[in-house]
Amino acid sequence: MPRVPILSRAELAEADRDIYDDYERVRGVQPSVIHRAIANAPDILRAYMPISNALRFETRLDARLRELAIVMVGHLTGSAYEVEAHARFAIKAGVPQAQLDQLPEFASSPVYGDRERAVLRYAAEVTRRNQVSSGVLAALQAEFDQEEITELALQVGFYNTVVRILGAFAIQPERRS
């Protein structure tokens, strides 16, 4: 059970309901549990949404690679919510189910190409020990330009933020019928 209330639109002050309205307009769905938890500090949710939306909708990095990196962050930090939520996004973006299933063996599994493996190695090293070896950087530089690498770094950093929010609030996966 989450440690903070999961607020509905009706539970927000009237002056803050536009945050949820904007969310639905931009994303086409109702706010998810993590955002409804952050809404306990509505001014902070207001500051949070632009970067969250920018990382989702305004990057050049291939969405399949972005989602693989995010699922890897969730997998390595034991964040079931993050894994479930972004596995759905990954499938929607075109990631084969086999690439999600074999994340624990990404270093040796034949289901990944060089680009996927370079992204996953970066996400794994940063999340595990917040360091990147020269080999991992070289593999990224061989496949991506500097803008894409910077975007990847921001995605991995941001989702290391997200898993800590989930961990603090003890938020579990959203069950969908």
Partner 1 sequence: MTESPGSRSAEARNLATVGEDLDGPLFSAMAEAPRLARAYFEFGAGLIKSCGLDPALRELAIAMTLAACGAQSMARRHLALAGSLGADAAKIERLQDFEDEPGFAEPEKAVLRFARESALGVSVSAEIYGGLQDWFDVRSQAAIALLVAYYAGLAHIAVPLGAEP
| Contact pattern from residue 71 through residue 90 relative to partner 1, giving x for each residue in contact according to CB under 8 A and a dash for the rest | ------xxx-----------
Among 96, 138, 164, 174, binds partner 1 (CB under 8 A): 164
- Minimum CB distance to partner 1 smaller for 106 or for 122: 122
The total of other beta-carbon atoms located within 10 Å of residue 165's CB is 17
CA 168/CA 149 separation, integer angstroms: 29
Phi, psi of 120, rounded to the nearest 5 degrees: -65, -35
Q: Considering only residues 8, 21, 50, 94, which one is a binding residue for partner 1 as defined by CB under 8 A?
A: 50
Distance CA 116, CA 119 (A): 5
The piece of 12-20, 23-31, 90-98, 168-176 that touches partner 1 (CB under 8 A) is 168-176
Query: Does 167 participate in binding partner 1 (rule CB under 8 A)?
Result: yes
Measured CA to CA in angstroms, residue 63 lies from 54, 70, 170 at distances of: 13, 10, 27
Rounded to a whole number of angstroms, the CA Rg of the chain reads 17
The reply on whether position 171 binds partner 1 by CB under 8 A is no
Find the shortest distance in angstroms from Cβ 89 to partner 1. Answer: 18
d(CA 69, CA 152): 8
Which CA distances in Å does 174 have to 33, 86, 114, 170? 7, 12, 33, 12
**Binding residue for partner 1, selected from 41, 107, 138, 142, defined by CB under 8 A:** 41
Q: Are 140 and 122 in contact (CB under 8 A)?
A: yes
Q: Is 8 in the site for partner 1 (CB under 8 A)?
A: no
Residues 114, 159: Cα–Cα separation, whole Å: 23
Any contact of residue 172 with partner 1 (CB under 8 A)? no
* 160 binding partner 1? (CB under 8 A): yes
The residues of the shown chain that bind partner 1, judged by CB under 8 A, are 3-5, 37-38, 40-41, 43-44, 46-48, 50-51, 54-55, 58-59, 77-79, 122, 125-127, 130-132, 146-147, 149-151, 153-154, 156-165, 167-170
